[in-house]
Homo-oligomer: A and B are copies of this chain.
Amino acid sequence: MQTEDEVRDIRGYLAAQAERVEAALQSVIPAAWRVNETLREAAMYSLNAGGKRLRPILVLAAAEAVGGDAAAEARALPFALAVEMVHTYSLVHDDLPAMDNDDYRRGLPTNHKVYGEAMAILAGDGLLTHAFHVAAQAPALGVPADRALVVVSELSRFAGLAGMVGGQADDMQGEQGITSFEQLEHIHLHKTSDLIAFSLRAGGHAAGATERQLEALERFGRNVGLAFQIHDDVLDVSGDEAKLGKPKGSDERQGKVTYPYLIGLEESERRVRQLTEEAIQAVLSAGLPKPERLVQLARHMMARDY
**Contact at A169–B139, with CB atoms within 8 Å?**
no
**Contact at B130–A118, with CB atoms within 8 Å?**
no
Cα–Cα distance between A35 and B167 once the two chains are bound (Å): 9
The A interface is mostly helix, strand or loop, or mixed, namely: helix
Contact stretch, chosen from A38-46, A68-76, A176-184, A227-235: A38-46
Contact stretch, chosen from A143-151, A214-222, A241-249, A270-278: A143-151
Contact stretch, chosen from A9-17, A92-100, A256-264: A92-100
**Contact at B166–A153, with CB atoms within 8 Å?**
no
The residues in A between 31 and 81 inclusive whose CB is less than 8 angstroms from any CB of B are 33-36, 38-40, 43
**Contact at A96–B122, with CB atoms within 8 Å?**
no
Contact stretch, chosen from A102-110, A155-163, A199-207, A286-294: A155-163
**Contact at B129–A166, with CB atoms within 8 Å?**
no
Q: Which of chain B's residues have a CB closer than 8 A to the CB of A22?
A: none
**Contact at A35–B126, with CB atoms within 8 Å?**
no
Among the listed B35, B155, B161, which residue makes an inter-chain contact with A35, where contact means beta carbons less than 8 Å apart? B161
**Contact at B99–A165, with CB atoms within 8 Å?**
no
Q: Which of chain B's residues have a CB closer than 8 A to the CB of A149?
A: 136, 139, 145, 148-149, 152
Asked whether any CB of chain B lies closer than 8 Å to the CB of A133, the reply is: yes
A111 to chain B, nearest CB (A): 12
**Contact at B168–A152, with CB atoms within 8 Å?**
no
A197 to chain B, nearest CB (A): 15
Q: Which of chain B's residues have a CB closer than 8 A to the CB of A39?
A: 161, 165-166, 169
Among the listed B89, B118, B170, which residue makes an inter-chain contact with A36, where contact means beta carbons less than 8 Å apart? B170
Q: Which A-B residue pairs are the 4 nearest by beta carbons? A: A98-B117, A133-B156, A129-B160, A136-B153
Q: Please name 6 further chain A to chain B contacts, defined as beta carbons within 8 Å, in addition to the given A125-B165, A136-B150, A145-B146, sorted by A numbering.
A: A35-B162, A36-B169, A97-B98, A126-B165, A129-B165, A136-B156
Can you report 22 A-B residue pairs in the complex whose CB atoms are below 8 A from each other? A29-B161, A34-B162, A36-B161, A38-B173, A39-B169, A40-B161, A43-B161, A97-B98, A98-B118, A119-B172, A122-B172, A126-B166, A128-B129, A129-B156, A129-B161, A130-B156, A139-B146, A139-B149, A145-B145, A145-B146, A145-B149, A152-B152
